[in-house]
Chain A
């Protein structure tokens, strides 16, 4: 029996025994230390006759690998046994609460504005804005509501000066004027924002939100208006069909004018939009009055189109089952938490408006 075989057999036997880490290290050093058995054999390679040297070296390497692998395996086994033993002691009560986190929320009105913008974006509207403080001309006169027009009574206006030249806009319609004065037709815009009327009770807040829509081009008729609003309402309430009624009304800045009602019913105390025999008024609209177009230097014989104004808070209330308008602006922590939206819930076309 060669020396090599002897070393191998002896140490394989030794390694089969139950060993602790120091014993294994001892074996490791016995074999591979500076003067270890295997190390010594390697030093011998040079002294062996050339004819046998190749075989000897090859055998030696095989034995070396075999023993080394076995030792690593043993060490790994021992180490993981040791870690497992240690971890056993580290067991904690995982039912204890996690570190505190805070969750922010987006206000339902902001979420609704984003939903509205997302819907109108798909059919080519872009978003315009105007200032909250307006002059009397943009808010009324340019919109074909001259002074002493009884329609001004419908708007309880907050004024900032005694001459009543500066006011808080009573609707988003002045954005129509600003947009058309600034650019050339065609126009296809929506304008969401804050609006103000000095009215305050259960169903009226002195500040509320509207979104204005304006589409002016050649040959835009009432059919486009009806189609656009029908599309919007369906998308907004995320229903396939909507019961909708256009009925004649009057606004000084549109002619013909219409108000739009949607069908609803109350089922189990909840409002169901789009069906039923009850009507709910949700917006006003119409074909932009030629006088308004003239006021902004758009030729009404060449361009025509529609405008609409929708109460955003009202839409949010309907969609999300909120009863009290006043609560929107009351900043009650419980309310904001309950009705608010996660900031990651960005309404988009591909992901849908709401989860």
Chain B
């Protein structure tokens, strides 16, 4: 909502300065977004006429225009607007002017080889409208102003307020003035209530159809006959320009002025273009009309339309139609002042993607009792400026407004705000805001002003009182440093632990979006269901991620393009399994590309491999408190891993839920996304599948015990078939005697010379120690033989002699 202090003063008597005003507006919840000085540079913007246009010699879309700016010299201006044509009256900005929208200063510049002296401006560049096609087109009435400044001098700054959606009353200058007055910033000016006596008959019949979902509950109107529409007088034009609106014609300007002044949207019809009478009704599916934005709209059924015998004239409370719009030659005007239901307005506007000033106001709730005031104010102005006769006012209603009553217990104020104000003060604030108050014992019986649809219960009254008396009155109550419940639960603690554990292994933590590119998602989707976003910001971000890999691989690739070769990143966050709340899992996902050491004077170059990923997974889980002795690892992994070089980890051999996958990413994926790196390995730890013990890590530990008896180490080399896993041998050895076999280490795996084809040699170091006595040669010999026998029996291995 844009205002000026000058305009505010129409409603507010105050001696205070603009600086105080800005502060006070923010303090009472009418946040000042920006303050702009319109007076300075805008004088430079002049009314000008295009005398001639020529095609730019070096650019098809550009034109070179000769422009009359009221000086002897004709200016050459390069312009890209399609509507730039001979005879067009528009707005010219000379070099040195600052364009309000972009805040850029114009300079004389060569555009594709042709020197351009200044610029022809569009409405949006001048902040006259939000969007505009081409340069500003002025009416022929401006011809006499060529060379004169388009904007009038104004000392008042343009103040842009951010009005919260609960305050439609402050979408009019008067509402803002009322709030300011209540807060002690001046006195609200009484509006003169000089009612004109209207005798003329209103002979245009208006009817609101009583039908289901009717979006209009009241339709007030009056006829003004024999008017002469013209340009607005200077005061009115200046007023609109001062807040960045473009004057059009007196009748349109007046309706806009009344809307901005008292937040009463009106619509003016050329009465002669209405066939017979007005019918307010629900639209029929397929009905069409051309709106004032020159677009054709096809309506669904059930939208609130204003129509006549021929069809739709406009969408009630949203936008009028071209067929019945007023023009300079309009003789008779029908002025509409109606009440439209916010919900109905919103539905219709949303379906048609329409946003207008009127819609913005009606969907927030217009004062239902302002119908007559609006008509009076506008009709009087039209008569004053355009002449004519005003008819009697006609108001059709299908519902009568009932004022809202609230019983307010003043004690609630302190209970919620934490501070006190006197009853007298409360009453003053509420009266100033327009409430009617009756004191009933210890309570207030309040009647809510009709312009405040946001107030419906006691707490709303509290807010009004706190807001107007000032938030700075609220005390600071120091928080008490006391904790009754632990801050994090087990899961959250594990989350934080895993996060820092993985980072400590050299991974940079990334946070990427929860959505991703469908193509990348498909590489890692496995058998999961694709979850589409129906309104994504772009098609590359169209699905929720089924795996974190999709994003990480994309970003790793970008970093490879940046020239990095060895990269480790991880993310801990959600992946999605379905479109319903809760169908998500928390995953720690790491991805490493390149080599472990590169160009080192001391270490051999080596590609990152699956055992690096395995180490990171196992170490992380061990650090988190899980027992690696119990881990069960096999090679069944999803299809985005290398089928031979990847693994699946369970916390124990019950194999309930997969704790982690790790391995090389499938080379096909690298090929398809054109990734160039020596090696790419990754892992996924599924947090939801990690069992959370009720016990603490401390309680989970076994009793501390150790043996001081002598240890003995012995190496074995077995020849086994290739498909036998190291794990099988280790399990066989540890099954021999769990209390004596203390440690088993695979220290060599060999295939090739001296080993039969399809077989391999696995060398294992076993530590044997008793916790009861020192073992003698005999004992050791016995157990060694047992180890060999067991391994050979269980795995088909042969000891290598």
Contact = CB atoms under 8 A, between A and B. Distances in A.
Interface in A175-216: 188, 194, 196, 198-200, 206-207
Interface stretch (B397-405, B472-480, B692-700): B472-480
A96 B602 contact: yes
A99 B537 contact: no
Interface string B11-43: 000000000000000111101000000000000
A225 B573 CA distance: 31
A129 interface: yes
A336 B504 contact: no
B165 A150 contact: yes
B268 interface: no
16 contacts: A97-B601, A133-B576, A135-B581, A150-B342, A150-B363, A200-B537, A206-B537, A226-B477, A227-B479, A248-B467, A249-B164, A255-B463, A256-B466, A257-B463, A336-B510, A340-B508
A160 B533 contact: yes
Interface of A is mostly: mixed
B499 interface: yes
A133 B503 contact: no
Given A150-B346, A337-B508, A226 B475 contact: yes
B419 interface: yes
A158 B597 CA distance: 44
Given A127-B487, A221-B416, A224-B418, A207 B513 contact: yes
Interface string B529-546: 001111111000100100
B496 interface: yes
A329 B513 contact: yes
A114 B493 CA distance: 11
A122 B486 CA distance: 10
Size range of the chain A interface in the assembly: 35 or more
Interface of B: 26-29, 31, 164-167, 342-343, 346-347, 363-364, 415-419, 457, 459-460, 462-463, 466-467, 471-472, 474-489, 492, 496, 499-515, 531-537, 541, 544, 551-552, 555, 558-559, 562, 564, 567-569, 573-574, 576, 579-584, 597, 600-603
A290 interface: yes
Contacts of B419: 223
Contact of A148 (B343, B457, B602): B343
Given A101-B506, A333-B508, A333-B559, 9 more contacts: A105-B503, A110-B499, A120-B487, A150-B363, A158-B515, A160-B531, A247-B29, A287-B416, A331-B552
A123 B485 CA distance: 11
Interface stretch (A23-31, A38-46, A49-57, A161-169): A161-169
A110 B457 CA distance: 41
Interface of A: 96-97, 99-107, 109-110, 114, 117, 120-127, 129, 131-135, 138, 148-151, 153-154, 158-162, 166, 168, 188, 194, 196, 198-200, 206-207, 219, 221-228, 230-231, 246-250, 252, 255-259, 287, 289-290, 304, 328-334, 336-337, 340, 343-344, 346
Contacts of A290: 457, 459
A129 to B, nearest CB: 7
B597 A100 contact: yes
A295 B484 CA distance: 26
Given A114-B496, A122-B481, A168-B514, A336 B467 contact: no
B533 A158 contact: yes
Nearest to B574: A132
B492 A332 contact: no
Nearest to A331: B555
A340 B509 contact: yes
A58 to B, nearest CB: 40
B487 A117 contact: yes
A234 to B, nearest CB: 11
Contact of A107 (B475, B511, B531, B568): B511
A96 B602 CA distance: 9
Contact of A124 (B474, B483, B503): B483
